[in-house]
A = this chain, B = another copy of it.
């Protein structure tokens, strides 16, 4: 069985976008794909420096080779096939395609530029797969409603903890059960800092400085250690699980900055552990989301999630408590999460593996 390739416009060509181009090339391009799932073809790559279009001006580069060119230091606008005057919005308006993959920078304040790209893709009746959180946490309810009204699909698992399959487990692993409560350790940086504080007995400032020196914490760590990244992920997950409109501003958020070595020592003396926990539950039909520091007892399913690892627990009425943990933190793993969403929307009953 052969189907026409699904044509993708990729917006954003940083580390995650480039890794996505390579993964598509490796395992979901036309020759490698077997029956049941359509092949994938990246038709265009839109960046702030213009848009690369497959085959333009006779260029025979494929997207993985465009990534190679950039990583060799060539400016994007000099890569064969790039139109430096074509911006992302016009590219979405003009290029024939089936699917937008959005891997651009995220802005948790206004959700741009992602939101405009997603709206434009729905105008053209494309499906949309989103990696950056901004658009979904600020305008999620509107975008979900638009997708539903136009009969299109919108997947944002890559924005909701990337490699850790939070939304896929909720959608396919808990079908028919009612989720009563969600608890998650969803920010690797904060968890790594708390783990480091416990192991070395150091202060928050010392552990943060070590993480920044190692490159595992950002120069401006407020999104991570302030709880906002955790809140963004949990808003997306809780909104999807309970199918309720939920935005960033609905979450009650605090961070790990005030945790002290005595707090951690006191918890350890009780066989407990201090964590930055995101918690979501229902009040009537309204989901509530809270992020803050809590002490977990030693037998809690999230008590042993150490270092930069992430995990989520769904408490259900009929299946019991289901915890998913792990997932690599890297641009390639985030790209693999995008590919998962693309393949899951492409074929319902295709083979389990690809390539």
A179 at the interface (CB under 8 A from B): yes
CA distance A339 to B168 in the complex (A): 17
User: Which of chain B's residues has its CB closest to A24's CB?
Assistant: B176
A321 at the interface (CB under 8 A from B): yes
Contact between B176 and A168, CB atoms less than 8 A apart: no
A242 at the interface (CB under 8 A from B): yes
Contact string against B for A residues 312-355, beta-carbon threshold 8 Å, 1 for contact and 0 otherwise: 01000011111111111100110111011011100011011111
Contact between B23 and A352, CB atoms less than 8 A apart: no
Contact between B337 and A319, CB atoms less than 8 A apart: yes
**Interface residue tally for chain A (C-beta within 8 Å):** 58
Contact between A319 and B328, CB atoms less than 8 A apart: yes
A23 proximity list for chain B (CB < 8 A): 176, 318
CA distance A172 to B75 in the complex (A): 38
Contact between B325 and A323, CB atoms less than 8 A apart: yes
A243 proximity list for chain B (CB < 8 A): 351-353
A64 at the interface (CB under 8 A from B): no
Q: A169-B169, A333-B318 are in contact. Are A348 and B348 (CB under 8 A)?
A: yes
Give A198 Cβ to nearest chain B Cβ, in Å: 14
Give A217 Cβ to nearest chain B Cβ, in Å: 20
A301 at the interface (CB under 8 A from B): yes
A175 at the interface (CB under 8 A from B): yes
Interface residues of A in 149-186 (CB under 8 A from B): 153, 163-165, 168-179
Give A113 Cβ to nearest chain B Cβ, in Å: 26
Q: A165-B173, A169-B169, A355-B178 are in contact. Are A318 and B332 (CB under 8 A)?
A: yes
Q: A153-B349, A243-B353, A352-B171 are in contact. Are A323 and B326 (CB under 8 A)?
A: yes
CA distance A240 to B351 in the complex (A): 9
Give A22 Cβ to nearest chain B Cβ, in Å: 10
CA distance A328 to B318 in the complex (A): 8
CA distance A172 to B323 in the complex (A): 16
Contact between B170 and A174, CB atoms less than 8 A apart: no
6 closest A-B pairs by beta carbon, nearest first, are A320-B328, A165-B173, A348-B348, A318-B336, A172-B172, A176-B339
Q: Can you report 9 residue pairs joining A to B where beta carbons are below 8 Å apart?
A: A153-B349, A173-B340, A176-B336, A243-B351, A301-B326, A304-B304, A321-B326, A323-B323, A324-B325
* Additional pairs, 20, CB under 8 Å, beyond known A176-B336, A299-B306, A320-B327: A23-B318, A28-B176, A163-B322, A165-B172, A165-B173, A165-B319, A168-B175, A169-B169, A170-B352, A171-B352, A175-B340, A318-B332, A318-B333, A319-B328, A320-B326, A320-B328, A321-B326, A323-B323, A324-B325, A325-B325
